[in-house]
Each structure stands twice: as structure tokens, then as C-alpha cells.
Structure 1
Amino acid sequence: MMLEGASRLAVEAEAPVELRAGDFVLVPGMCNFTMSGSGETLDETLDPRTVTRLPGEIRHGDPDAPANARLLVGHFSFGSPDAELLLSLLPRFFHVRGDERLSALVGLVTDEARNERPAREIILARLLEVLLLETLRSTSGETVRYGILRGLGDERLAPVIRLLHEHPTREWTMEQLAGEAALSRSAFFKRFRRAMGVAPMEYLISWRMALARNLLMKGNIGIQEIAERVGYRSASAFSTAFTRFVGLPPSRYAASGAAP
């Protein structure tokens, strides 16, 4: 959250954006980015790891010079095997300008983090969850190029995506999915791929594999049962698909604790 001043954010493979006070940015995955003073040339000799720690803040650059921007920075950690699928479907970054609800939530997070109150950690965790959800909700499906938000923002595709999530074991065909969207087969395929960034059956396989990883990490469910739960008739067919998708056989994945 940009608290004061202005800055220029450049995320790899994306056009730079100008940030001003009140703007909120969320970068869902690990990627390279740079921040510089608005309108300034980036100093390539600056080492971002060189910082000055002051009471209540960390300074980049000259600690004696006036700050040209002040930001509140934090991070989210996902402990679920589904996180990889979620991140792959989200934009590289979200940029929300001057949203009062996000500003209010950030204020609550800041206040809670700076004070030692009972149940502080629990409240902070819940506030951060609400902050993440509010960010996703604040971003219109039309403002992102592709991904789950764009898909769920499409009135024809949203019911199909929900069906795939709720019934991954069904033997879906393109004709069935196109019918649910009330589109021709070719129109549905093009519309789904343009919105989601992947073809319908590719998305279904990705979702099944995310569910399978989650079940495997529980460690108390057999391969055959997992295969049936994610839409495969046999353990061998599931193992082949899982190995091709993940790069490890299901048994080795479960044994190694290979969560993403």
C-alpha cells in the first residue's frame, strides 16, 4: 500500500505503472520487479539488499534524504498444494487505485501489528485473509488479460468453471461444456482459452491434479481411491497422468512431501 508520495513499479513482462498515495498492489507470485521514484531513472548500482533499519521502518537509499515515497509492505503464505494452480491463473500483479475499503483494512492491519493485544496473531491472520479477498473482489474481471478472475467475470463461462470445480470426476466432453455455456463448441473453446489462458480440458486436468496433490499430502488415502476421487477409473491411468503433469509418480510425491 502506497501511504505517501509516488513511485514507479515495473514488474517483469508487464508495462510499468505509476503509483500514488492510496494505491494498493498485490504481486501473487515470485517474480522480478523494480520500484523507483516517479519520473526518475533507475540507479543500476543500487543494491536493494542494502537498507537502513530505523525505528518502525526500513529505509532504501540515502537514510538522511527526505523520503519520496512511504509504503506498507507485507506478504501472504499459502500452505496448500492448490496454491500453484491458483497462482498460475492470477495476473502477475493487481493494481487497485484509491479503494476506501482496502485502505480501511490496511489501517486495521497496521494498528493490530503495532500493538500487543490478546489474540493478535489470530486477528492478523483473519484480517490478511479478508484483505486478499477484498483485493480479488475489487479487481474487475474485465481489467485482467486472462485467469480465473476473467473467467468468473464472464457470465457464460462462470457456470462452467463452477461445474468443473464441483464435479471434477465427471467425464466431461467439449460438447457438454459448450452446452452449459450455451455456445457452439468452437466459440466456447476460443472464449474459454482467451479468458482463462488455457484450453478447457487443460484446465480440468490442472484442477484434478491440484486436488490429487492435496489428497496425496494427507498420507492416509490409497492411490486407487485418489484416482477415483479426481476422475480416473484406474490407479494406473491416474499415475500416468499425474507423473506427466507433476514430474513424479504419486507414491514418490506423497513420500517426499513435495508440496509446491
Structure 2
Amino acid sequence: MIDPLAEVVTLLQPRAQFSKVVSGAGAWRVRRAHSGQPFYCVVLEGASRLAVGGQPPLLLEQGDFVLIPESHEFTMSSPNPPPQHADDPAPLALADGAFRLGEPDGPAATVLLVGHCAFDSPDAALLVSLLPQLIHIRGEQRLGTLVQLVREESRAQRPGRALVLSHLLEVLLIEALRCSAVTAASPGLLRGLADERLALALRRMHEDTARPWTVAQLAREAALSRSAFFERFSSAVGVAPMAYLLRWRMARAKQLLRQRASVAAVAEQVGYGSASAFSVAFTRYAGMPPTRYMTEA
């Protein structure tokens, strides 16, 4: 059986790009607006407060993992942050390569592993649009085991530390996406997969991308009426069923073109009756003909 989440993660090609250990004591706050860099945070010790894009603050506890797949303004602070008008001093660099926030001396109340990851897929923006704005994982045993390994490796100064930590973080990112398929609250592919009825239709779309699907056919796969399926899918995934199918077809088409498949073969595999019909649709979507995309990718 095709796993839509596995396909999306495979195409995204997640990679841990940068990480650092940050400790905090007293009242502290950091405000960021990173452009084009997905952000993640592992709470190694203590607690922290996170607010993303004007949403209500979220209290993070030890063992929690957070991933912001797409750049948004966000604020991290101590559980009791400084006054809103107070200045936010830059983190203090420590001798061991870590950073300190708030009070420079004394034991840390909070220890975080924060950083940026990269999605190496040329079509990352399209795939990220299928994910929730914020992924927050708590209380998952497998994820907790990975967090513990990350915690131990981040503190050790053993040979190969950077490489091991990078691979652990990649696995952590993938496991977080898998866990989120069960708990996703905001619209996106993960929330759609958490709905048993919608998951049936999503799997069928991924299993048989070449089929000329209609909303009525997908509704039958989900054992729902056409109108109920359309509303339920749009609400959960954040886009209409045929819009999702188009996005997925175009993502698959780009992957196949990068592998130098012929335009006719790609057209057949992603559900178009002819190479010319596919070329028109691809050009409208990607801004260039498939033959040009193949040479420039």
C-alpha cells in the first residue's frame, strides 16, 4: 500500500542544516523572522514559551519537539517572559560553542537544541504547503528516545559529533512528521491522513496518480457523499481535492523529469491523456515547458 506521508517526506529530502545548544535562566526572549529556513527546537531541559505568527503562546516542556516547516515570525521566551516593551539582548556566546540567554551566571533553567533544517527538493515550497504551519510533538516514546540520543550527542565532544547529530536530527524530523499524522490540528496532509475516510481517498490518489479521478470517484473511495467529501477534505487538508491532486501530480512530474523520463511517459504516469495536454498544464503550473524544465533541473 502506498503511504502518502512517506512519499512526501521522500520528495522533501529533509536535512539538518544547522543546530546549536541554547540555555536560559531568568527572564529572556528571542524574536525571529527567518526567511526560507524551516526552524526546529528540542527541549532538552526545563520549559520554554513559543508564539508563532500571532497565534496564542504554546508552553513547551522537556522532551517536546517543534518544527515550523515554513518561515514565520516567532518568539521564544522563558515561561515568564520579560515585559513586552523590554529590550531583548542578543544570546551570549559561550566557550563551548553553546549560547546563553537571560542571566549569564548560575544554573540554567532551560536548555534547548535549536536550529534550521533544509528541504532539498526543488519543489519544496509545494510540498511544504501540504504540511501544518506548526508541528508540536509531546509524549511519543519513539520520539522521546530520539530526543534523548540528540541530548546525549549534543553534550558530548566525541569524534564525528557533527555528523552523528546531523543524521539523528534528520531521523527526528521524519519521525515528527509521522507522529503528526495522528495529532495534526491545523489543515494539511497530516490532518487529512488522521481522518480514516479521507486517508482512503488520499492513498488511492497516490497509488493510482495516472487515473483520471473525479471528486465523485474519490468520494466513493472515502464512502462519503460528494458534497460531504468535498467539504471534509477541503477543511482538513486546506485545499480542494482536485487542487491537492494537481499539486501532487506536478510534484511527481518534476521528480520524473529530473530523472530524464520522456514527456510522453511522464504525462501517462501523472494522469494526462496526451503529452501536449500535460505540457500545457505543466507550463501553466511551473512557468516553463517540461522540456525546458528537464534541461535546467
Is TM-score (shorter-chain normalized) higher than 0.5? yes
Q: 153, 165, 186: which one pairs with 1:145? A: 186
TM-score, normalised with respect to structure 1: 0.84
2:63–2:147 CA contact under 8 A, matched in 1: no
> Which residue number in structure 2 is paired with residue 255 of structure 1?
295
Match of 1:190 among 221, 225, 231: 231
Kindly tell me the number of residue pairs found equivalent between the two proteins. 254
Q: How far apart in 2 are the matches of 1:94 and 1:144?
A: 9
Partner residue, 1:55:
96
| Corresponding residue number in structure 2 for 1:76 | 117
Distance 2:104 2:279 in 1: 56
Task: Evaluate the alpha carbon distance shift between residue 235 and residue 45 of structure 1 in structure 2; reply closer, same or farther with a 3 A threshold.
Answer: farther
CA 1:140–1:36 in structure 2 vs 1: closer, same or farther (change >3 Å)? same
RMSD in angstroms over aligned alpha carbons?
A: 2.7
For 2:85 and 2:44, the matched residues in 1 are separated by 23
TM-score with structure 2 setting the length: 0.74
* Greater mean deviation of Cα atoms: 81-90 or 181-190: 81-90
Which structure has the highest strand share of the two? 2
Alpha-carbon distance between aligned partners in 2 of 1:44 and 1:157, rounded to the nearest angstrom:
47
User: Cα deviation per residue 1:182-212 (whole Å; 9 max; x = unaligned)?
Assistant: 1111111111111111111101100000011
Report the AA paired with residue 44 of structure 2: L
Correspondences of 1:1-260 after superposition (within 5 Å): 1-40=42-81, 41-42=83-84, 45-46=87-88, 51-61=92-102, 63-64=104-105, 67-81=108-122, 83-112=124-153, 114-116=156-158, 121=163, 124=165, 126-139=167-180, 141=182, 143-218=184-259, 220-257=260-297
Q: Any conservation in 1 of the 2:183–2:194 contact (CA below 8 Å)?
A: yes
Shift of the 51–245 alpha-carbon distance from structure 1 to 2, 3 Å rule, reads farther
Identity rate of aligned residues, in percent? 51
What is the CA distance between 1:34 and its match in structure 2? 1.2
Structure 1 ranges of 4+ moved more than 6 A: none
> Is the contact made by 1:243 and 1:249 (CA closer than 8 Å) also made in structure 2?
yes
Q: Give the AA of the match of 2:285.
A: F
1: CA distance, partners of 2:139 / 2:201: 33
Deviation at 1:155, TM superposition (A): 1.3
Measure the CA separation in 2 of the matches of 1:233 and 1:179: 23
With over 3 angstroms needed to count, the CA separation of the structure-2 counterparts of 1:98 and 1:162, relative to structure 1, is closer
Provide the rounded CA distance (Å) in 2 between the counterparts of 1:119 and 1:63: 26
Following superposition, the deviation at residue 229 of structure 1 comes to 1.9
- Quote the Cα distance in structure 2 between the aligned partners of 1:236 and 1:78: 31
Segments of structure 1 that go 5 or more residues without pairing to the other structure are: none
**Matched-pair contact (CA < 8 Å) for 1:141–1:150:** yes
The answer to whether the 8 Å contact 1:22/1:99 transfers is no
